[in-house]
Chain A
């Protein structure tokens, strides 16, 4: 097993935060309530 964590992995974290924001925004604004 090798450990090789770096910049690309950090970008992954940013994308995941973006995905959560997208989920909540889509849910709250487009949910046809």
Chain B
């Protein structure tokens, strides 16, 4: 389904061009990944590099564990529906990366990375490619998180919020769909032709369709609970007030999960 259309686009762009785009995405995403783990965040306005507010406290680790369990388990359920043997399978659980990236921020993204690792073990697809899978799935949560970064956006209370969510899913799917095949092609784990005409489309569609449908429903359902539990990333991290207020009527006064000084 839709694979032929995606492959037509890939053929129109050409394998050489796909490799070039893949290389650019891979390098940029890897730099961002390392920066984030080191405590720094790139921004599009000056100052371009700032420290982020994530503290790896107990609540952050709980979030990593929860997302890893949900995503890893969710991947395992459908791991038997194989598209490219040893590499790609049906992943409706990909919706979790988008949703928990938006809700939990950096811990959610790291949980997605760990969850993908667990999923690879279950699916029998644990290869050298899983290294790219780790960072790629981190990015597939991180990119939507950076786009839908305010509580006002994450509550999906208006058409603009929904549009922003749709764009965030497209951007996240784009990054992971270029990231992993490029690594697979460069290391020669699979031929470049298979990477771009088989794996690319699979990852792209996996990262697009269920996050749009299932992810939208999940975010709509989960957001009010997560906000009330003070587990929304901006609440947990005591971020700026502007990031923490939403448009829902019954959201209580924002607090934080950090121990108060």
Contacts and interface: CB of A to CB of B under 8 A. Distances in A.
Interface in B193-232: 225-226, 228-231
B70 A27 contact: no
B231 A12 contact: no
A11 B70 CA distance: 12
Nearest to A2: B82
B257 interface: yes
Nearest to B74: A16
B69 interface: yes
A16 B67 CA distance: 10
Interface of B: 58-59, 62, 65-67, 69-70, 72-83, 85, 122, 225-226, 228-231, 255-258
Interface residues of A, number: 27
Interface of A: 1-6, 8-9, 11-20, 22-23, 26-28, 30-33
Contacts of A16: 69-70, 73-74, 77
By DSSP majority rule, is chain B's interface helix, strand, loop, or mixed? helix
Which DSSP category, helix, strand, loop or mixed, fits chain A's interface?
helix
Contacts of B72: 12, 15
Given A16-B77, A31-B229, A33-B230, 13 more contacts: A2-B82, A4-B80, A9-B76, A9-B78, A12-B72, A12-B75, A12-B76, A12-B79, A19-B73, A20-B70, A22-B62, A32-B258, A33-B255
Contacts of A15: 69-70, 72-73, 76
Contacts of A28: 229
B80 A3 contact: yes
24 contacts: A1-B82, A2-B81, A3-B80, A4-B80, A4-B81, A12-B73, A12-B74, A13-B73, A15-B69, A16-B69, A16-B70, A16-B74, A18-B69, A19-B66, A19-B67, A22-B66, A22-B69, A23-B66, A26-B59, A26-B66, A27-B226, A27-B229, A28-B229, A31-B231
B226 A32 contact: no
B231 A26 contact: yes
Contact of A6 (B69, B73, B80): B80
A5 B73 contact: no
B79 A32 contact: no
Contacts of A13: 73, 76-77
Given A3-B81, A6-B80, A8-B122, A32 B256 contact: yes
